[in-house]
């Protein structure tokens, strides 16, 4: 085949067509398993952060999405016959050392933090990544407390939240994500869903 502009364009077009078709097929094959894995991760996080006890609704079916500071925050209410028994909130922040990360924050009916699960992050291994460790200092600072009754900053800045050693930026971002989760529930309650 003679090397000409027409032949080169045709060859490039064929290569592009084959490559884009392959990428499309891979997407179609992996789309379902990726969505299922994400759903399982959310369900697992909900079970870890919601208050123990009987929940009569499916929090994922009753979820609400609230936009705060340009970020979507998902609120999953937990209900039983007595009303709202808690909330799980998928919150995020863009303030992390390595960019954004997501947390699932659980509140009981009194708006005390039940538990916090790290859903996604790219923080430095061995430093900021410690925010995902069980009973890390950040979680211990929040667990059992209502954020409204806390000074939401790290202790070195006069706040009530202990920071992870050598990870102040990550710690401040974690506080931001928890505060955003709390604000989302308050915003939702102002819109009509009340804790009864």
The average pLDDT across 18-37 equals 88
* pLDDT for 1 beyond 80: no
* pLDDT the model gives residue 192: 43
Q: What's the burial of 34, exposed, middle or buried (CB within 10 Å: 0-12/13-18/19+)?
A: exposed
Q: Name the pLDDT band for 194 (thresholds 50, 70, 90).
A: very low
Whether 36 is in a domain gets the answer no
Q: Name the pLDDT band for 69 (thresholds 50, 70, 90).
A: confident
34 φ, ψ to 5°? -65, -45
For CA atoms 97, 99, 101, 107, give the dihedral sign. Answer: positive
Whether 8 is in a domain gets the answer no
In degrees to the nearest 10, what's the CA dihedral of 18, 19, 21, 23? 160
Q: Which two tokens stand for residue 133?
A: 């460790």
* pLDDT for 64 beyond 50: yes
The average pLDDT across 20-45 equals 85
Q: Name the pLDDT band for 44 (thresholds 50, 70, 90).
A: confident
Q: Which two tokens stand for residue 20?
A: 């884009």
Whether 128 is in a domain gets the answer yes
* Residue 143: strand, helix, or coil: strand
* pLDDT for 54 beyond 90: no
User: Are 54 and 152 in contact, with CB atoms under 8 Å apart?
Assistant: no
- The model's pTM is 0.78
Other CB atoms within 10 A of residue 105 CB: 28
Cα separation of 66 and 74, whole Å?
A: 6
- For 98-102, 125-129, 147-151, which range has the lowest pLDDT when averaged over its residues? 125-129
Whether 109 is in a domain gets the answer yes
Whether 4 is in a domain gets the answer no
Q: Which domain holds residue 137?
A: 49-190
Whether 157 is in a domain gets the answer yes
* pLDDT the model gives residue 92: 92
* pLDDT for 165 beyond 90: no
Whether 166 is in a domain gets the answer yes
| CA-wise closest residue to 131 among 168, 185, 91, 86 | 168
| CA-wise closest residue to 86 among 190, 181, 191 | 181
Q: Total structural domains in the chain?
A: 1
pLDDT tens-digit profile of 77-90? 999 888 889 999 99
Mean pLDDT of the chain: 88
* pLDDT for 175 beyond 80: yes
* pLDDT for 12 beyond 80: yes
Whether 34 is in a domain gets the answer no
* pLDDT the model gives residue 195: 38
């Amino acid at each position: 085949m003679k090397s000409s502009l027409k032949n080169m364009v045709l060859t490039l077009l064929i290569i592009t067509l084959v490559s884009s078709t392959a990428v499309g097929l891979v997407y179609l094959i992996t789309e379902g398993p990726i969505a299922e894995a994400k759903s399982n991760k959310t369900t697992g996080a909900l079970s870890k952060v919601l208050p123990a006890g009987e929940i009569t609704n499916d929090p994922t079916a009753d979820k609400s999405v609230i936009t705060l500071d340009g970020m979507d925050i998902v609120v999953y209410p937990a209900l039983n016959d007595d009303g709202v028994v808690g909330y799980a909130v998928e919150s995020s922040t863009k303030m992390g050392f390595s960019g954004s990360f997501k947390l699932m924050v659980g509140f009981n009916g009194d708006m005390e933090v039940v538990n916090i699960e790290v859903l996604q992050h790219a923080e430095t291994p061995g430093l900021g990544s410690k925010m995902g460790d069980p009973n890390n200092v950040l979680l211990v600072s929040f667990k059992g407390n209502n954020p409204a009754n806390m000074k939401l900053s790290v202790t070195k800045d006069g706040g009530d939240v202990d920071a992870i050693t050598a990870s102040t930026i990550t710690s401040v971002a974690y506080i931001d994500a928890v505060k955003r989760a709390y604000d989302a529930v308050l915003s939702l309650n102002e819109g009509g869903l009340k804790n009864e």
